[in-house]
Structure 1
Amino acid sequence: MDAIDRKILVELQRDGRQTITELADKVDLTVSPAHRRLRELERTGAVRGYRAVIDPHALGLTFEALLFVVMGQEDRDTLAAFEEAVEAIPNVVLAQRLFGDPDYLLWVVAEDIAAYQQLYDDVLSGLPGVLRLTSTLVMKRVVEQRPLPA
């Protein structure tokens, strides 16, 4: 990946809907080389896809919590079952396995605290292998989904 590829990635993060002509102009290429480079970035997985960034409040999702998960069992099958179950929960918008304690961090969205409590009681607390769940409520987003540095 060279400097031009990095410029393409920066521009795509700013506006993934721009035309190839606009992109080419911003990275100082003609359309054909810009298009070839973009297709190669997509082919290699550097560009994994395109999507809209939606304001959760527009969907009525005004409550956010970070959920720290400590596993009681950490064998391969239990971890796989836990991760598969987490992937199936639409309210979990980010899940990361961590080194150390806790074992996982989940970013969970809900309509309000009552909806979160119901999700916690009915779904999250029953996830496979879980020893302990600890919630931290999000007060304010300071930095959110910023583009990656290129």
Structure 2
Amino acid sequence: MDRLDREILALLQEDGRITFTQLAEKVRLSLSSCQRRVRDLEASGVIRGYRAVVDGASVGFGFEVVAFATLSRPDVLEEFDAAIAEVPEIVEAQRLFGEPDYLIRIVAADRDAYQRLYDKVLSRLPGVRGLNSTIVMKQVVAPRALPVVRHSFG
């Protein structure tokens, strides 16, 4: 991956709807070279997809929770992974080293909706020994683009 690929990635992360013509102009490539590079980045899995960034509160998901899950035993990892992947309100999850085993980001309409989700779904996930939740008070840094263009801070 060279400097041009990184510039292309930075621009696509900033505006996923940019046209190939605009993208090619910004990175100073021919249209066909730019299209080929983007297709290569897609084919190699560097670019995994495109999506709109939606404001959760505007669509009825103004309540956010970060939960930490601890599993009862290691042989349930795959089953737990599959189960959380099926819960639409879980918008992000990472398996961690040590305890807790998972960090899970969950959205809901409000506290009551989260309580129902917790009681009926989350507390019944396979192998859960403990689930500790904390309410997000304020999003200080929203999910953002990866810093693919190298910056010099020194």
TM-score computed with the length of structure 2 as normaliser? 0.94
- Separation in 1 of the partners of 2:61 and 2:15? 25
Which of residues 134, 140, 143 in structure 2 aligns to 1:142? 140
Task: Give the aligned partner of residue 70 of structure 2.
Answer: 70
Q: State the shift of 1:30 in Å.
A: 1.5
Partner in structure 1 of residue 114 of structure 2:
116
AA matched with 2:36: R
Residue type at the aligned position of 2:144:
R
Q: Cα distance, 1:28 vs. partner?
A: 1.1
Match of 2:33 in 1: 33
Alignment of 1:81-100 (within 5 A): 81-100=79-98
Q: Distance in 1 between matches of 2:67 and 2:106?
A: 7
Separation in 2, partners of 1:95, 1:145: 14
Q: CA deviation at 1:64?
A: 0.3
- For 1:64, the aligned partner's letter is E
CA distance in 1, matches of 2:135, 2:99: 19
Shift of 1:12: 0.2
Instruction: Report the AA paired with residue 143 of structure 1.
Output: V
The amino acid that maps onto 2:114 is Y
Residue 99 of structure 2 is matched in structure 1 by 101
- The corresponding residue for 1:16 is 16
State how many pairs are aligned: 148
**C-alpha displacement of 1:32:** 1.0
Counterparts of 2:62 and 2:51 in 1: how far apart (Å)?
Answer: 21
Match of 2:5 in 1: 5
CA drift of 1:145 comes to 1.3
Q: Determine the C-alpha separation between the residues in 2 that align with 1:80 and 1:133.
A: 18
> Given the alignment of the two structures, is residue 44 of structure 1 paired with residue 44 of structure 2, yes or no?
yes
Give ranges in structure 2 of 5+ residues lacking alignment.
149-154
Amino acid at match of 1:80: E
TM-score (norm 1): 0.97
Distance 1:143 1:30 in 2: 36
How much is the aligned-residue C-alpha RMSD, in angstroms?
0.6
Alignment partner, residue 126 of structure 1: 124
Query: CA–CA distance in 1 between the matches of 2:66 and 2:143?
Result: 16
Write out the 4+ residue segments of structure 1 that deviate beyond 6 Å after TM superposition: none
